[in-house]
Every structure is written in structure tokens, then in C-alpha cells.
Amino acid sequence: MRDSFGRMINYLRISVTDLCNLRCMYCMPQKGICKLKHKNILRIEEIKEIAKTFVALGVNKIRLTGGEPLARRGMISLIKDLANLDGLKDLAITTNGTLLKKFAKDLKNAGLKRVNISLDTLNDDKYSFITRGGKLKDVLEGIQAAKRVGLSPIKINVVLIKGFNEDEIEDFLKFTEDGIDVRFIELMPVGEASNWALERFISNEIVLNKVKDLVKVENINPSSPAVYYRLNNNKGRIGLINPISCKFCNNCNKVRLTSTGSLKLCLHSNREIDLKGHLRKGSNLKNIIIKAIKEKPESHYLEDGTYIEKNMFQIGG
């Protein structure tokens, strides 16, 4: 599928739940959230049906997100069925890692290829602070479990936060010695946490300024938002994702499906299409999706102070 700007849309991010066992400050309110009624979220079979339709239309990459995707019942069954879709080349998951130790082997056996793990600090106390009660050791054990069962590549996503973790950049780079990619992501103003994020934004330029020996490497995927580097010929790469300082909308190839069944054409747009409603009414999903893709906006407008209303957990990380 191509949008009205000629971009090939072949990547679908599916949020399977808005629930999470952590309360990260830039993602979720401290009080948590009201649990949605079952009728308001996509059933596992509905997720499979929508994913199957997207793959039939040319999507070849699917990433499962949340909330915390591993907190959703039926995930192993979902992954097994998605992995068997004819035409799907890449199936991955983004997780906070706290449940990976428990599920890594089952995920691998179900057909999951690779995993991204969100981790913003390597300090126990700071981790508990930013997640409002999480335990760092659970994530570190999850990373080792993922490596042990052969999920590859493993990528660690680090959101840079001014005054919080810029002093840990070099520590994170040690993961690359073990063949693990580390990606630094600029903090984005989203939902209720927009003002909090704006006050703590720091450009990824700080990574280049702190680590002088980084060597830029060719990115084999032109649609990837990351610019990649290597350090000391380590097997793992260092990625910089710069949605604020150097936006990458021109090469955007993705759309998002929320846990409530809404299709989001851009992370930073309030525009949504109710695929769940169309599916339950028996509408022709293919035609609805093809029409929707043509409405994908050319760009986000964060630089103009235009921020979305929903929180990150409601959209999918």
C-alpha cells in the first residue's frame, strides 16, 4: 500500500493492551488507569483478523506493543498464529522486560524473532523512581533470558531524560559488547505528560558529544527511524532516534492499531479510524484500510507545539 505522498506502508504496530505492570512517568499516570470493559478492547481473534487483512494488503512487518504486551492473556497463541501468516517477514515485540524471564522460551517457540526492551536506567533506585516501583533486576534477568533462548537481535530502547540518565550513556553502551543494540530515543511530548517531557527534553546530540569514537554505519533499512553507529567494532550497534531534533516523517512506513481497535495513521495525530467497529459490523476491512492509508498525514507538527491528547499507554509504545 502507498499513501498519498508515495510512501510504502508495510509496517503495523499493534497495541494488544493498555494495561502495564509499571507506571513510567512519561507514559502513564501515577494513579494508573481504569480497566476497560472487555467489549471495548479487541479480542485476540479480532487482532488476528485485522493483522491478516493488513498482511494481505502488503504489510510484512508487525510489532506487538502495549501497555505491557506480555500482561495480555493469549499472547503466545497470538504470536504463533501471526508468525504463520503467509507474507509476514518480521514479527517482533516491545516490552518493559519484567516478564521476559517467564515468557522468553515460549515466545521463541511460538515464532517470535526478536525483541525490543524499554530500559531507561541501570541504577536500582532510579529505575524504581522512574517506573514508580519497578525492580531493575527483573529486566536484567529478562534480557539474559531473551539472549539465552536465541531471540535476536535484542534492542534496548533508552529514552533520554535531562537530569536523570544522561550520565549513564557510556554504561548503556557496554551492552553492545554482548551483541545487543542500544537505541537512544528523544523524549516526546505526548498526552498528559507533555509539559513534563518538554521540561526534560534533551537532544540525542549529547550521545555524539559524549562518545567521540562512534563510527556511523549504513542502515540496511531505509525506513528505520534510527541512525546507527558502532563503537570499537562491537557486535551491537548504537542507534539514535531523533523525532524532535531531526524528524523522519519522509520515510515513515508505519501505522498503529490501538488496543481499542482504532487505526492511527500517525503517532502524533488525534485522527483515528474505528476498525473494531467496522469489523464487528461486517464491513469490508480491506477497502476501509486502503482508503484510510490515503489520509496518512505528511508529517507531525511537534515543532509547532501541536501535541496529541492521548497518553502513550493508550496508543501503544
Specify binding-site residues for [4Fe-4S] cluster: 20, 24, 27, 249, 252, 266
Helix axes 44-56, 285-293, angle to 10 degrees: 60
Nearest to 117 by CA among 132, 89, 138, 86: 138
Binding residues for S-adenosyl-L-methionine: 26, 67, 118, 188
Q: Which three cell numbers stand for residue 40?
A: 471495548
Binding residues for GTP: 13, 63, 94, 155, 254-256
Task: Using DSSP bridges, classify how beta strands 61-65 and 238-241 pair: parallel, antiparallel or unpaired.
Answer: unpaired
Question: Please, what sign has the CA dihedral across residues 28, 107, 225, 62?
Answer: negative
Binding residues: 13, 20, 24, 26-27, 63, 67, 94, 118, 155, 188, 249, 252, 254-256, 266
Nearest to 176 by CA among 202, 204, 154: 154
Q: Do residues 179 and 141 touch, judged by C-beta distance below 8 A?
A: no
Residue type, 274: D
